[in-house]
Chain A
Amino acid sequence: MKSHINLRNVVVALVAAGLVLLPLYSQLSGNIFILTLFTRIIIFALAAASLNLIMGYGGMMSFGHAAYLGIGGYAVGILAHEGIGSGFIQWPVALAVSALYALVIGALSLRTRGVYFIMITLAFAQMAYYIASGMSRYGGDDGLTIYKRSTFGGLIDLSNRVQFYYLCLACLFGGIYLIWRIINSRFGMVVQGVRSNEQRMQAIGFHANRYRLVCFVISGTICGLAGALLANNTDFVSPAGMYWTRSGELMVMVVFGGMGSLFGPVIGAIFFLVLEEVLSQFTEYWALIMGPLLLLVVLFARGGIMGLLGRFSRV
C-alpha cells in the first residue's frame, strides 16, 4: 500500500479541520467578519468543485458556470418573493431548474468542442443574465432582495450565522464526497476516459456524448445548490451574479487550486477570495496582482496549488 501521509494530504486535512473549527475561533476572538468571509468562500468552493467535475475530470471548459449560481439563487428568491418560504420547496426547485437548464444547454453545447464549447456556454450564460435583467417583476437589473431566508420547519435556522456556516460546510463536504464517489465509479472512469481520448472510447463502445451530458447536468445541479446557498447568504440575487466575469472567477479558482484534483477547488477558492479580500484593502486595483499570479500558476504550476504540494511531497 502507498502511504497516505504526504504533504498534500496533511494540508488538506489541516484546511478541512480549520474550516470545521473556524466558528469556534470566530466566537472566541469575537471576529464575526471571518465567519462571514468563510461562509462565502465555502459556497464558492462548492461552485468551483462542481465546475472542476466537468473541467478537470470531464475536460469540458464551461465558461458559463455562474449561470447556475444565478438560477439556483433566483429559484430561492422568486419563490420567497411569491410567499413560498420553505426550503423544502425552494431548494429542490433550485436543483431541478439548474439540472433542467444544464440538460438543455449541455445537449446543445456538447455538439461542439474546444473554443466553440467555451463560447457557446458563455453565450447561454449571458442569455440567462439578460433574461434575469429583464424580469421586472423580480427587480430586473437591480436584483431581488430576499427578506426571509429559507425555512426548514425549525430544523435549522439559516439566520443564525454559525448554523448557516455549518450547513454550507456540510454541503461542501457532501458535494466533494459525492464527486469523489463519482470519479471512481464506472461512470467517472468513462468520463475521464472520454476527456483523455474520445475516439478511443467511441471505438471500444462508449457513446461519449451521453456520458458527457450526464456529467454536465450533475455539475450544474451541484452548482445550483451553491446558488441557493449564496442567495441565502447575501439575502439578495441579481443578474450581476451571473455575469461572465463571475464564471471566469470560478474558472480561476479551479485553476489556482488544481484542475482535476478533488480538494483543489476548495484551496483555490480560499486562495482567490482571501487574496481578493486582503489586496482590496490596499488597492482597488487588486486584479493587477491577481492577474500576474494566475499567469505564474498557468506557466509554472500546471497542477495549481495542489500540484505544487504534490511535487514537494515526492521530494
Chain B
Amino acid sequence: MSDPLLRVENLVRRFGGILATDNLSLDVIPGELHAIIGPNGAGKTTLISQLTGQLMPNSGSISFGGRDVTRLPSYKRSRLGLARSFQITSLLPNFTAADNVALAAQAHDGHSFRFWGNARKEKHLRDAAHAALTRVGLGQRIDVPVSELSHGEQRELELAVALATKPQLLLLDEPMAGLGVTESARMVALLKELRKEVTIVLVEHDMEAVFALADRITVLVYGRVIASGDPAAIRSNEEVKRAYLGDQHVVVAHG
C-alpha cells in the first residue's frame, strides 16, 4: 500500500457538550475514491470542514502529502492542492459561471495584487475556466450569472470551481444533494471520469451512487468510525447494518 495522501489521526472536535468528531482516524490513498457515509448528524460535514481548514479540531492531526496541515488556514491548504465543494451551494451569486471558475484559476496563478489590467480579459484564466466548465457540462452556460443557473447547474459549477484549482485531493460534500434522477446520473458519470485523474473523498447520502463509485467506504456514526473497508465488506458488516443501513437494506442489496 502506498503512503496515504491524506492522513487523519485521532481527530476530536466538540461543539459544547457534543462530540461531533470523536477520536477519528482515516487514511486516503492516492488514486482512490473514498466515500464517507453515515446517518444525518454523524459529523460528515464537520469532518470535511476540518480537513479543509474552515473549522479547527480540538485535538488530533491532519497531514496532507506527508505535511502536517492541522493548523493551516484554508487558503493555504487550497494552495497545497486540497479542494472542496460545499453541501449547501457556495458560489459568488452576482458573478457569471466563468467568473467563478476564473477566480479559482486566478487563485492558483500567482498573487492577485494586480490593480490595472482587466482580469476578465486574461486569456489563460478564461481558457482555464472554459475548460473546467466544459468538463462538467456547462460549456454552453459560461456567461450566465450564477443566480440564473438551475440548482443542478450550480452543483456542477461547484465542481468546476474545485477542479480549476487543479487539486490533488477533491473533497465533495454531497454533490448529489437536491439533484433529480437524471441530474444525479450525470453527476455519477462525471465523477466516474474525474476519479481517473484525482483522488476523491466523497460524502454522499445517495447509497446507489456511493456503492457504484467507491473503492473504499468509511462509515461514521456520532462522529466515530464504526467501519471502513471496500463496498462488499461494508455491505456485509453487521454493525453497519444495525447502526445505519437497516432501512436502506433493499437499496444496498441491489446496489
Which of the residues A184, A196, A205 comes within 8 Å of B107, measured between beta carbons?
Answer: A205
A203 contacts B52, C-beta separation under 8 Å: yes
**Residues of B contacting A207 with CB < 8 Å?**
73, 75
| B78 interface residue per 8 A CB criterion | yes
Quote the shortest CB–CB distance from B172 to chain A (angstroms): 13
**Residues of A contacting B106 with CB < 8 Å?**
186, 189-190
Chain A residue, CB-CB nearest to B122 = A186
Which of the residues B79, B91, B95, B114 comes within 8 Å of A187, measured between beta carbons?
Answer: B114
A199 contacts B99, C-beta separation under 8 Å: no
Quote the shortest CB–CB distance from A212 to chain B (angstroms): 12
| B104 interface residue per 8 A CB criterion | yes
| A283 interface residue per 8 A CB criterion | no
Which residues of chain B from 185 to 231 have any CB-CB distance to chain A below 8 Å in the complex?
Answer: none
Which of the residues A184, A187, A196, A206 comes within 8 Å of B93, measured between beta carbons?
Answer: A196
**Residues of A contacting B248 with CB < 8 Å?**
none
**Residues of A contacting B83 with CB < 8 Å?**
203-204
Contact with B along A144-185 (1 / 0, CB 8 A): 000000000000000000000000000000000000011011
Given contacts A196-B93, A196-B95, A204-B103, contact A186 B119 (CB under 8 A): yes
Which of the residues A185, A187, A200 comes within 8 Å of B90, measured between beta carbons?
Answer: A200
Quote the shortest CB–CB distance from B19 to chain A (angstroms): 24
Interface centre among B86, B90, B119, B122 (most CB of A within 10 A): B119
Which of the residues B54, B112, B114 comes within 8 Å of A202, measured between beta carbons?
Answer: B54
B99 contacts A189, C-beta separation under 8 Å: yes
Interface centre among B79, B84, B107 (most CB of A within 10 A): B107
Quote the shortest CB–CB distance from A203 to chain B (angstroms): 6
B74 contacts A203, C-beta separation under 8 Å: yes
Chain A residue, CB-CB nearest to B110 = A186
A204 CA / B91 CA spacing, docked (Å): 11
| A240 interface residue per 8 A CB criterion | no
Quote the shortest CB–CB distance from A85 to chain B (angstroms): 32
B117 contacts A186, C-beta separation under 8 Å: yes
| A193 interface residue per 8 A CB criterion | yes
**Residues of B contacting A182 with CB < 8 Å?**
115
| B118 interface residue per 8 A CB criterion | yes
| B241 interface residue per 8 A CB criterion | no
Which residues of chain B from 135 to 191 have any CB-CB distance to chain A below 8 Å in the complex?
Answer: 161-162, 164-165
A184 contacts B92, C-beta separation under 8 Å: no
Quote the shortest CB–CB distance from A218 to chain B (angstroms): 8
Which residues of chain B from 46 to 101 have any CB-CB distance to chain A below 8 Å in the complex?
Answer: 52-54, 73-75, 78-79, 83-84, 86, 90-95, 99
| B113 interface residue per 8 A CB criterion | yes
Which of the residues A181, A185, A193, A204 comes within 8 Å of B165, measured between beta carbons?
Answer: A204
**Residues of B contacting A181 with CB < 8 Å?**
115-116
| A271 interface residue per 8 A CB criterion | no
The number of chain A residues with a CB under 8 A from chain B is 25
| B249 interface residue per 8 A CB criterion | no
A189 CA / B115 CA spacing, docked (Å): 10
| B108 interface residue per 8 A CB criterion | yes
**Residues of B contacting A96 with CB < 8 Å?**
none
**Residues of A contacting B162 with CB < 8 Å?**
204
A192 CA / B112 CA spacing, docked (Å): 13
B78 contacts A203, C-beta separation under 8 Å: yes
Quote the shortest CB–CB distance from A231 to chain B (angstroms): 27
B91 contacts A205, C-beta separation under 8 Å: no
| A308 interface residue per 8 A CB criterion | no
Which residues of chain A from 183 to 225 have any CB-CB distance to chain B below 8 Å in the complex?
Answer: 184-190, 192-193, 196-197, 199-208, 211, 214
B112 contacts A211, C-beta separation under 8 Å: yes
**Residues of B contacting A189 with CB < 8 Å?**
99, 102-103, 106, 112, 119-120
Chain A residue, CB-CB nearest to B79 = A205
A205 contacts B94, C-beta separation under 8 Å: no
A188 CA / B121 CA spacing, docked (Å): 13
Given contacts A203-B52, A203-B84, A206-B107, contact A214 B113 (CB under 8 A): yes
Quote the shortest CB–CB distance from B109 to chain A (angstroms): 9
Chain B residue, CB-CB nearest to A187 = B115
Chain B residue, CB-CB nearest to A181 = B116
**Residues of A contacting B52 with CB < 8 Å?**
203
A184 contacts B118, C-beta separation under 8 Å: yes
A186 CA / B116 CA spacing, docked (Å): 8
Given contacts A185-B117, A185-B118, A189-B119, contact A200 B107 (CB under 8 A): no
B75 contacts A187, C-beta separation under 8 Å: no
Given contacts A185-B114, A187-B112, A205-B108, contact A199 B90 (CB under 8 A): yes
A204 contacts B107, C-beta separation under 8 Å: yes
Contact with A along B117-138 (1 / 0, CB 8 A): 1111010000000000000000
A205 contacts B119, C-beta separation under 8 Å: no
B99 contacts A185, C-beta separation under 8 Å: no
Chain B residue, CB-CB nearest to A184 = B118
Quote the shortest CB–CB distance from A26 to chain B (angstroms): 36
Chain B residue, CB-CB nearest to A197 = B92
- In the assembled complex, 5 residue pairs joining A and B whose CB atoms fall closer than 8 Å, in A order, are A185-B117, A185-B119, A186-B122, A188-B115, A204-B83
7 additional A-B pairs beyond A186-B106, A189-B99, A196-B94, beta carbons within 8 Å, are A186-B117, A187-B112, A192-B95, A203-B84, A203-B90, A205-B107, A211-B112
